[in-house]
Amino acid sequence: MTEERFRYLPDTAEDEKEMLAVIGVESMEDLFTDIPDEIRLKEALAIPAAVSESELLKQMKDLAEKNVSAGQMPIFMGAGTYDHYIPSVVDAVISRSEFYTAYTPYQAEASQGELQAIFEFQSMISELTGMEATNSSLYDGFASLSEAVGLAAAVTKRKEIVLSQAVHPNARAVVHTAAKGRGLEVIEVLMEKDVTNFGVTRCLTTPDTAAIVVQYPNFFGSVEDLAVVKKIAEDKGALLIVMANPLALGILEAPGKLGADIVVGDTQPFGLPMSFGGPHCGYFSVNQKHIRKVPGRIVGETVDAEGERAFVLTLQSREQHIRREKATSYMSSNQA
């Protein structure tokens, strides 16, 4: 190990010597004896020579100036990834030690900060959507929609999904991809001007329909009449899935109050950085009767042995570590 490597690793030469002695080898080279000699690299890597920190910063600055950022002009390519102002207090709050606890909250006593943050997140989304329960979030809004379709099929025992073409095209693509593995048929509904054609929706909805899917506001910014869609779904015993922009729900009527069975979406509009398209954070809301079919996990509030407010993982019924090969989805930590 050269002194140059010590710039990035905390181990000293003495540390290295002590570890090698414990392992029972004389040098770092001895650790690689199992690798056949004919496939080992004999010459130096074909990469440019190292430069000084100031030179590197100049090179990176020159590269960065070739880009046009969202701060310089409006960007519409994101179609769901938006450049929102994020107050500096956000980083200040989420960086506090009360919230900066264990990465994955399986060990409640070491994860109270993260668990409380997720609990507050769930509560806020439930209030906005008008639903009874929200999970601790999924990877993004499109993953949430795909999982909503899977839940609807599992609950209704049906195989058809009626999907509005006014739903984000990338979201529709994810639904089609996931539907293949679940053996579902996705039927897309044409639009009437800038909203879903409800006449066509009514014709395509049959006793085999598991769910009707609409976006609110839709991909073109128009507001769908959820009460009409709910009536169409209800007449055939199908569920209503609404993919909603949570920021718009501060003004629009909550989908849950208009009859939605599952409400999903992406919380990037709340101020997650654009980050070249991700990572985002999907939300997933349902009513009580479907709570045990929800992907991922749900954080709940309780009291500890001393009667103090505490937080725990209440439900994680579909997590891969619980059901192993029987799990139907994989959802873990993200940006919630």
Q: pLDDT (tens digit, 9 = 90+) per residue, 292-315?
A: 888 888 999 999 999 999 999 888
The percentage of the chain sitting over the pLDDT mark of 90, rounded to a whole number, equals 62
Residue 182 belongs to some domain of the structure: yes
Is residue 77 one of the residues assigned to a domain? Answer: no
Tokens of 275: 């980050």
Kindly tell me if the per-residue pLDDT of 3 is higher than 60.
no
Give the model confidence (pLDDT) of 26-47 as tens digits: 998 899 999 998 999 888 888 9
Question: Residue 31 belongs to what domain range?
Answer: 1-39
Instruction: Tell me the residue type at 322.
Output: I
pLDDT digits (tens, 9 = 90+) for 102-153: 777 778 888 898 899 899 999 999 999 999 999 999 989 999 999 999 999 9
Average pLDDT over residues 15-25: 93
- Which one has a higher pLDDT value, 13 or 180? 180
Q: Are residues 307 and 178 in the same domain?
A: yes
Q: 278: how many CB neighbours lie within 10 A of its CB?
A: 16
Is residue 55 scored above 90 in pLDDT?
yes
pLDDT at position 284, please?
Answer: 96
Task: State residue 1's pLDDT score.
Answer: 45
Domain assignment of residue 23, yes or no? yes
pLDDT score of 296: 83
Question: Any alpha helices (H) in 256-301, and if so which ranges?
Answer: none
Number of helices and strands (H, E) in the chain? 9, 11
d(CA 143, CA 164): 17
Average pLDDT of every residue of the chain: 89
Confidence at residue 106, expressed as pLDDT on a 0 to 100 scale: 75
Number of CB atoms found within 10 A of residue 11's CB: 13
SS3 assignment, position 214: strand
**C-alpha span between 275 and 273 (Å, rounded):** 5
Q: Are 242 and 263 a contacting pair, CB within 8 Å?
A: yes
The verdict on residue 290 lying in a domain is: yes
pLDDT of 322 over the 70 cut: no
Top pLDDT among 101 and 273 is at 273
Both tokens assigned to 281: 């954070």
Q: Where does residue 130 fall: left (phi above 0), alpha (psi -120 to 50 degrees), or beta otherwise?
A: left
What sign has the CA pseudo-torsion 240, 244, 250, 252?
A: negative
Pairwise CA distance, residues 324 & 316, whole Å: 12
Query: Could you give the CA distance from residue 134 to residue 147 in angstroms, rounded to a whole number?
Result: 13
* Residue 333 belongs to some domain of the structure: no
Give the per-residue pLDDT at 133: 96
Q: Within this chain, do residues 24 and 127 fall inside the same structural domain, yes or no?
A: no
The lowest-confidence range among 48-57, 76-85, 130-139 is 76-85
CB 210 within 8 A of CB 238: yes
For range 270-299, the mean pLDDT: 89
Residues 258 and 121 in one domain: yes
Residue 62 lies in a domain: no
- Contact at 8 Å (CB) between 286 and 262? yes
Is residue 48 in a domain? Answer: no
Measured distance CA(308)–CA(302) in Å, rounded: 8
The CATH number of the domain where 152 resides is what?
3.40.640.10
Q: Are residues 186 and 296 in the same domain?
A: yes
Residue 46 DSSP SS3: coil
Q: Could you identify the residue written with the tokens 């055939």?
A: 236
Q: What is the pLDDT of residue 207?
A: 97
pLDDT in tens, 192-238: 999 999 999 999 999 999 999 999 999 999 999 999 999 999 999 99
**Domain tally, the chain:** 2
pLDDT > 70? residue 53 = yes
Does 316 score more than 60 pLDDT? yes
Residue 60 has pLDDT above 70, yes or no: yes
Beta bridge partners of 284: 264
Indicate whether 208 belongs to any domain.
yes
- Indicate the residue type of 259: G
Instruction: Tell me: do 290 and 147 sit in the same domain.
Output: yes
